[in-house]
Structure 1
């Protein structure tokens, strides 16, 4: 461009943000960043935005020269090197950024970078002018850019509107907010909610609540930065963390505003005078310990009609006109489908942890080798930002695996942290202690007792454990704990469910442990869930089966804690009774192995056991893994269990033991079909005498298996049909799924593939609804045989691959299965279609469970192509 040519101007003369990146490779990222910049009312300066009467190199150099902030986006490509040039435009743009220009650099995680880009990024990493962050996808990138630009505006540009040689009048301009030294991750929804409220002229008081260390202060600063243009009278930040007397709050506000108190009038009068005509935002941080100042804050809002207050507190201020927003933990990674770097980084908790580790150890990378450990760290710490930051600070000397091993001692391991954190946040323990000092004695007592719950708990459970607290009102005290963010509440259907962060729970238990009534309170906690098991026992066998299974799944941690306490205190009778009442739940959710281990402790205790306890313990220790235990140990144990149940008059218990005895006799080295049939017929009679239709359906299925063992296919079909009818009358989804599965195999053996498919599909639907992974695997294997027998090789391979993964990921791969699909698979593998089958099986192994179920429900033969390649 010749000197006579007119200067190239950027598209907008607002504060300008130059965006450097390759174009086609990062098109989605560029669009996301452009939107983020415009949301802050800044001007994005991007190569594709300008007219093109000038050479590209002249264009981007001119644009860069006029810009205020440099944003660099880097993926895998180094970019085009123009003829006659030694470097790409991407590197040229970075080199031309003028000294002192803020530089924000974002690098896409993963992938294989071109060598010259890797070299450039190495130089950028060592450049102390540039901040350096990783991102997983355009959405996360946009969130990072918004947060970092907002922080940069607060740090560097709040005084930009005033001449350099004139001081800013803090009464008319923006009061600088504290500089945020870290980026805000995973909070876009909450930030937008706060910004929306602060942008409403009718909203005067917004309170951001949450427990200590959750990130309230950081988020409030970000939100305030985003709305600074709405408050020409300025934004004042008031840190109340060191203020313990509510009467001193006006003085703290006055000090933040620069108001001088020389005794020539009351401070309240000066404060009202200072703010009465200003459209300003007052950010009050850490209000909870001076919450009694709330009336004074409300009075100030009344006297200053253009004033808005944004407060952070562990509890609401409870004044009229208050709008509360609760801040919870960061979203956790979803590990149901295995560990993956890409999926992990999409979880804000992982993204935050990785970024903070990199601050301590710049060469840290999230890899396939360490991603599972990092995900488990984030889950163990409940996604609490402060906990994640404290843990990440140890990343300089501990690998993720080593840190994960030490999380049981995290109150010791995480005792350090950044020196510029407030003293009360150096450890999570001090944060919680500081918070609980604000509670009444009855609230503190309830908090300590609630620490006994290993997971969520209902109001009924809280009332049970809180009974007898002096001067306590459980509902009011629980409400206070919720208001104080020490307990969280969410609605599940028509029930309110409460929970505590694990770090809060640990603190509560520490308060309870040394007390003389600790054992009695733990007994009381266990009593609640023993009674819950008694309520659930028969509900698990009828029309409310799914509802109760889901409810018990929510209580899974508490159920385990109950069993562990009963065993540790040698309450063998209660432990066995508890295990027995929840038999169906343990089965459907795949916990019978745990129950077996628990009951082995009972049998091996050496203590004298009553008959019913021993019968139950023998049943669980023998019946659960009958295929792998020696006959000489298994059959006598089940026989003794049945005899002891009979002695106690427990017909259903005896019948269930006889079913397992029959299966053991069939599976022994020398199968005894006659004795097995005798045991099963006796079992059926006992269930019918007891009116136990659930057990009756199970006995009929087992008798059908004996018939198949004898190769009497039609007799087997009759038993399975009878079992299905009983299960349907009982509205027992599990019983129906089992009967349908067995019936499907009879139809396969008879060549009725269409009917077999219907049976397996219906069994699959029931198992999927119950989240019964074993049933899902069985149904997929049955449908594999149907597809193979019908000549659909690709579909058969896909279904088998999916079934294998379900078994492998749920620990079912070594269990014996009532399935005959392998003979059909072997036939394909011995044919020319083996290659097609194996390719489809590999695709099926990439299906998630829900995708595999959806695929299995499709009927046409072409749908195997829909499986991921």
Structure 2
């Protein structure tokens, strides 16, 4: 037994007796009572989570730390596994704040003695070395003693002194085995043993979310915006009216904390909608950094200029030119726009790697096995375009972009049927196409006709053709009437209106056919005749439709274009079927389908598969008909309008198979998808109407109407699952996504059981600090004030069953949170059902 020694309470100074602690063990905090322990804990958290007694360099954080719960957990794990950890990321992403938060956790847990060295204003190698050594202090000549505590050195802002930091750490780390380093920089130090953690923007709201308010409440970026906005405008609230604007602001700023904070502080002057509308000039708008912050944190422009100045001249040139590609880029696009940069073409892979390592560009994930693709953050794009104009390089760079986009769009002019590979390639450049078309729209350059047509082809394949029809019309008005690209633009306007305004589409496709016929029987003429023939089929102009399809087939046979021939045969098959010749339809489909299954745009294949399904339906082969209609629907699952015929076909199959409830619901879905637009021949409409009447007669009136209305109101994804047989036929309401992650829900459930943080950590196999982080995030997300309220909230959810409740508002909506809390059970009532030793709650509270 060791000799008792006298120590004092770390909080109040009362004398204590310490025993059973070796002289070589690291001292731990000691308290005279639990009250002093809790008081110390609260004091540390009020000071921003930093114990000033451990490190005078750790400055008090006056603003709250929002989000990044997962990053904190991962960084804490990495910090205990490696000795050199570098946080990298673009300007304003919050590397320094995240590093200080991690260091603060280490300090609070007394796992390491922490020193922070800020290098932003330090330039000379001697000055860097002196600051670091002063922070670490002198050690005995023999190296650190075995009893020396672990040390964590935070090197903040190493961007401009990377070589100096690398040299110094190469000397320090081998001789100080208990020293670990956490560095922040826009690029790695590139030292042996270094682990790199890329810091990205805060989590954003789902752009496709139906309930933007509830989705925004779960977004870390929106939470940060609201926290900083309420600091300057306490009455500001997140509501259904402004949630979409706030989410858009955060998304346009890429979730970067620095510009989000600047935008939030503007809420005193501008409402969210106006801030959103002004983001096109964000470099002039976001200039309200903290008064005492470093110069480069005073404005968004200053932060970007700091990193730009650290790039090599050739890297700066690439940044400027790549800024004309807002939709991202691959090596081919980068090569095209940087063709004037000396040596860039040969060294492009190396330069792209360098820009990625310096957080200027970001690799895009999910590209599969295709070519690499990168993007710039929107703020970096704005800065790059500003520099491009300042250097007088914008006109030449945009000319190279236009020429390259024109080259990849030429198959629309020269091919009878645009290859799928071309459409996929153009789809990747969709945003860049729109950017180029809008820029060309100020002049009369005829290439805007081709690019607008290419953009319309891409959007039309996704069912959004009407959204770009205005751009195509503008291009037609701006350019000469004899342009060789004019027929492509006319075709685009006709297809954009085919589903919604067939009477407007007909004269446009007629003009396109007339103008192209002047150039002879070209491949493009064959495609235009095919499209006009299909349009006339839907308008019941049978004779004219047959003439167009016959001529299209003839052009395809003469030019030996198998795909055009197959598409023409597929359209003729529909004509023969509706004319009462199923044998002729079957003959044409037997020739067409094998070719089209080999590779054709989904909208073309879907139409022919629907014809095959209609033929099987006429022959009474319900199983085969369902297979064809299901395949047709899968081709256009992402596009509602083109899916109407396949949905109606599946409804006919269900009705003829006496599954009337399924048929009625699918008819309801199809009615909503079609939206009152005809788009089909009388032959098909009669069969749909007949099926509808049969199903309604077969079902009780009230039930039939409810099923029909359920189909009309059914969300598209649920309707798709119903049609494809991937979900129960019973309609059910879908709640909003849960505000907490699965792990956070597990933690909340264990709080209900009365477990301590240490017991929870042991139960789910994580550290106590991780549990603390989860509980803090639960309170922030739900706007709850205490652990007892977490227990009450979780117990209510368990009692309510599996349905997802509406979350209580976050802390920034304190008034609404108070109302929500009044609806929760009394925490004392919940805790009465919890045993002192951490036993289970009463069955009724656990939903048993």
Offset of residue 390 of structure 1: 1.5
C-alpha spacing 1:538/1:652, structure 2 compared with 1 (3 Å): closer
Offset of residue 312 of structure 1: 0.5
C-alpha spacing 1:864/1:224, structure 2 compared with 1 (3 Å): same
In structure 1, C-alpha distance between the alignment counterparts of 2:536 and 2:605, rounded to whole Å: 25
C-alpha spacing 1:725/1:157, structure 2 compared with 1 (3 Å): closer
In structure 1, the partner of 2:630 is: 761
In structure 2, C-alpha distance between the alignment counterparts of 1:157 and 1:623, rounded to whole Å: 63
C-alpha spacing 1:724/1:401, structure 2 compared with 1 (3 Å): same
In structure 1, the partner of 2:118 is: 239
Offset of residue 634 of structure 1: 6.0
Post-superposition Cα deviations, 1:536-569, rounded to whole Å, max 9, x if no partner, equal 9999969x84x76555433321122233344444
- Higher relative contact order structure (alpha carbons within 8 Å, sequence separation ≥ 6): 2
Offset of residue 290 of structure 1: 1.8
Post-superposition Cα deviations, 1:176-210, rounded to whole Å, max 9, x if no partner, equal 6233334444423322332122112xx22111001
In structure 2, the partner of 1:676 is: 545
Q: Is the 8 A contact 1:697 1:735 kept in 2?
A: no
In structure 2, C-alpha distance between the alignment counterparts of 1:643 and 1:449, rounded to whole Å: 41
Post-superposition Cα deviations, 1:24-47, rounded to whole Å, max 9, x if no partner, equal xxxxxxxxxxxxxxxxx999xxxx
User: Secondary structure at 1:513's aligned position in 2?
Assistant: helix
In structure 2, C-alpha distance between the alignment counterparts of 1:733 and 1:14, rounded to whole Å: 71
User: Secondary structure at 2:513's aligned position in 1?
Assistant: helix
C-alpha spacing 1:157/1:380, structure 2 compared with 1 (3 Å): closer
Match among 482, 500, 505 for residue 609 of structure 1: 482
Offset of residue 847 of structure 1: 5.2
Offset of residue 593 of structure 1: 3.0
Offset of residue 427 of structure 1: 2.1
In structure 2, C-alpha distance between the alignment counterparts of 1:593 and 1:328, rounded to whole Å: 35
In structure 2, the partner of 1:519 is: 395
5 Å matches for 1:299-698? 299-470=171-342, 472=344, 473-491=347-365, 492-494=367-369, 495-534=371-410, 545=420, 551-572=425-446, 574-578=447-451, 585-594=458-467, 596-605=469-478, 607-610=480-483, 612-626=484-498, 637-649=508-520, 651-663=522-534, 665=536, 672-698=541-567
The answer as to 2:71 corresponding to 1:193 is no
C-alpha spacing 1:210/1:765, structure 2 compared with 1 (3 Å): same
In structure 1, the partner of 2:789 is: none
In structure 2, the partner of 1:162 is: none
Offset of residue 443 of structure 1: 1.1
Q: Is the 8 A contact 2:612 2:625 kept in 1?
A: yes
C-alpha spacing 1:778/1:378, structure 2 compared with 1 (3 Å): farther
TM normalised by structure 1 equals 0.71
In structure 2, C-alpha distance between the alignment counterparts of 1:763 and 1:851, rounded to whole Å: 18
Offset of residue 156 of structure 1: 6.6
Q: Is the 8 A contact 2:465 2:495 kept in 1?
A: no
In structure 1, the partner of 2:16 is: none
5 Å matches for 1:701-740? 701-707=570-576, 710=579, 715-716=584-585, 718-720=587-589, 722-730=591-599, 733-740=602-609
Offset of residue 774 of structure 1: 3.6
The answer as to 2:644 corresponding to 1:781 is no
In structure 2, C-alpha distance between the alignment counterparts of 1:867 and 1:719, rounded to whole Å: 44
Q: Is the 8 A contact 2:48 2:63 kept in 1?
A: no
Q: Is the 8 A contact 2:411 2:422 kept in 1?
A: no
Offset of residue 224 of structure 1: 1.6
In structure 1, the partner of 2:730 is: 864
In structure 1, the partner of 2:700 is: 833
In structure 2, C-alpha distance between the alignment counterparts of 1:549 and 1:444, rounded to whole Å: 33
C-alpha spacing 1:583/1:637, structure 2 compared with 1 (3 Å): closer
In structure 1, C-alpha distance between the alignment counterparts of 2:114 and 2:122, rounded to whole Å: 20
Offset of residue 306 of structure 1: 1.8
Offset of residue 793 of structure 1: 3.8
In structure 2, C-alpha distance between the alignment counterparts of 1:311 and 1:276, rounded to whole Å: 26
User: Secondary structure at 1:863's aligned position in 2?
Assistant: coil
Q: Is the 8 A contact 1:240 1:285 kept in 2?
A: yes
In structure 2, C-alpha distance between the alignment counterparts of 1:14 and 1:780, rounded to whole Å: 72
In structure 1, C-alpha distance between the alignment counterparts of 2:671 and 2:42, rounded to whole Å: 53
Q: Is the 8 A contact 2:667 2:708 kept in 1?
A: yes
C-alpha spacing 1:801/1:402, structure 2 compared with 1 (3 Å): farther
In structure 1, C-alpha distance between the alignment counterparts of 2:455 and 2:351, rounded to whole Å: 32
Query: Any stretches of 5+ residues in structure 2 without a counterpart?
Result: 1-8, 12-27, 736-848
The answer as to 2:622 corresponding to 1:745 is no
In structure 1, C-alpha distance between the alignment counterparts of 2:667 and 2:230, rounded to whole Å: 42
Q: Is the 8 A contact 2:456 2:469 kept in 1?
A: no
> Which segment is superposed worse, 332-341 or 203-212?
332-341
User: Secondary structure at 1:283's aligned position in 2?
Assistant: strand
Match among 244, 250, 253 for residue 129 of structure 2: 250
In structure 1, C-alpha distance between the alignment counterparts of 2:209 and 2:690, rounded to whole Å: 30
Aligned length: 700
In structure 2, C-alpha distance between the alignment counterparts of 1:499 and 1:268, rounded to whole Å: 47
The answer as to 2:77 corresponding to 1:211 is no
Q: Is the 8 A contact 1:642 1:655 kept in 2?
A: no
Query: Any stretches of 5+ residues in structure 1 without a counterpart?
Result: 1-12, 16-40, 44-62, 70-99, 104-150, 160-167, 260-266
Post-superposition Cα deviations, 1:622-670, rounded to whole Å, max 9, x if no partner, equal 4442576696x865653443243233245321122223433555566xx
User: Secondary structure at 2:222's aligned position in 1?
Assistant: helix
C-alpha spacing 1:338/1:859, structure 2 compared with 1 (3 Å): closer
In structure 1, the partner of 2:679 is: 816
User: Secondary structure at 1:235's aligned position in 2?
Assistant: strand
Offset of residue 291 of structure 1: 1.7
In structure 1, the partner of 2:744 is: none
Offset of residue 521 of structure 1: 0.9
C-alpha spacing 1:549/1:350, structure 2 compared with 1 (3 Å): farther
Q: Is the 8 A contact 1:283 1:311 kept in 2?
A: yes
In structure 2, the partner of 1:107 is: none
In structure 2, C-alpha distance between the alignment counterparts of 1:269 and 1:451, rounded to whole Å: 54
Q: Is the 8 A contact 1:704 1:720 kept in 2?
A: yes
User: Secondary structure at 2:478's aligned position in 1?
Assistant: coil
In structure 2, C-alpha distance between the alignment counterparts of 1:322 and 1:853, rounded to whole Å: 48
The answer as to 2:661 corresponding to 1:794 is yes
Q: Is the 8 A contact 1:68 1:101 kept in 2?
A: yes
C-alpha spacing 1:719/1:594, structure 2 compared with 1 (3 Å): farther
User: Secondary structure at 2:160's aligned position in 1?
Assistant: helix
Offset of residue 773 of structure 1: 4.1
In structure 1, C-alpha distance between the alignment counterparts of 2:302 and 2:502, rounded to whole Å: 55
In structure 2, C-alpha distance between the alignment counterparts of 1:635 and 1:65, rounded to whole Å: 83
C-alpha spacing 1:727/1:630, structure 2 compared with 1 (3 Å): closer
In structure 2, C-alpha distance between the alignment counterparts of 1:813 and 1:335, rounded to whole Å: 28
Aligned-residue CA RMSD (Å): 4.0
In structure 2, C-alpha distance between the alignment counterparts of 1:549 and 1:804, rounded to whole Å: 30
